[in-house]
């Protein structure tokens, strides 16, 4: 599995023997995916732990647990932290029947599909949790730290920047941000 993307701890060269998957126990989709993961044959063991729980805080004291409710987070036993699409991909990579799929999704050609799955899941979570699910997330099911934000009134928007950063492009990244802009 390639190293994590920008903003995550570099996992290059660190073997992964076990993964902790933090899921939103209040989300029906997240619980369904937890159950699906539990039924799969694994090449790497998965510990499925509710995000922002006492168990999660005990296991991972240095992690920003509020952020784990904003986006899927997977933590490797070597300290690797995967978020968003990289977290989905590493979950698939751990499964016997899905490792080739994980490798395809980790390529520039597969990255848009992985990103779309994460964004669709975030939108579903927002709808499933309803308007009362806002907490400190400002009503968003997906954090804007990567340049994308979701507003229930207007849908998904790409600003090209994370909060506090200058815009990097006026276009959303079509292939993980590694593609040249169209002419």
Confidence of residue 40 (pLDDT cuts 50, 70, 90): very high
pLDDT score, position 41: 97
β partners of residue 157: 149
- Compute the radius of gyration of the chain from its Cα atoms: 16
> Best-predicted range by mean pLDDT among 74-78, 128-132, 163-167, 176-180?
74-78
CA gap 21, 177 in Å, rounded: 26
The larger pLDDT score, comparing residue 35 to residue 7, is at: 35
Can you list the domains of the chain with their CATH numbers? 19-105 (3.40.30), 111-158 (no CATH)
Average pLDDT on 164-181 reads 46
Identify which of 123, 117, 118, 116 has the alpha carbon closest to the alpha carbon of residue 155: 123
Confidence of residue 67 (pLDDT cuts 50, 70, 90): confident
Residue 148 host element (H or E):
strand 148-151
Average the pLDDT over each of 16-25, 43-52, 106-115, 144-153 and give the range with the smallest value. 144-153
Q: Which residues contact 89 (CB under 8 A, 6 or more apart)?
A: 1, 82, 102, 105, 106, 114
- Residue 159 contacts residue 150 (beta carbons within 8 Å): no
pLDDT score, position 80: 92
pLDDT digits (tens, 9 = 90+) for 83-95: 988 998 999 999 9
Q: What is the dihedral of CA 70, 113, 181, 6, to 10 degrees?
A: 40
Is residue 138 predicted with pLDDT exceeding 50?
Answer: no
- pTM greater than the 0.85 cutoff: no
CA distances from 106 to 52, 92, 111, 148 (A): 27, 11, 6, 20
Helical H segments across the chain, by residue range: 28-39, 54-59, 65-68, 85-93, 99-105, 111-129
CA gap 171, 162 in Å, rounded: 14
């Amino acid at each position: 599995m390639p190293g994590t993307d920008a903003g995550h701890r570099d996992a290059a060269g660190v073997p992964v023997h076990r993964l902790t998957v933090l899921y939103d126990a209040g989300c029906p989709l997240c619980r369904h995916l937890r159950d699906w993961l539990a039924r799969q044959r694994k090449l790497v063991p998965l510990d499925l732990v509710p995000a922002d729980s006492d168990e999660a805080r005990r296991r991972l004291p240095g992690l920003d647990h509020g952020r784990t409710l904003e986006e899927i987070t997977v933590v490797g036993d070597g300290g690797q932290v995967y978020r968003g699409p990289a977290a989905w991909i590493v979950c698939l990579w751990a499964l016997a029947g899905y490792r080739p799929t994980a490798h395809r999704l980790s390529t520039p050609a597969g990255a848009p599909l992985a990103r779309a799955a994460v964004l669709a899941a975030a939108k579903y979570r927002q709808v499933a949790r309803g308007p009362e699910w806002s907490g400190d997330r400002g009503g968003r099911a997906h954090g804007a730290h990567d340049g994308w934000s979701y507003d229930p009134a207007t849908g998904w928007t790409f600003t090209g920047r994370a909060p506090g950063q200058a815009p990097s492009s006026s276009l959303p990244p079509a292939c993980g941000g590694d593609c040249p802009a169209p002419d």
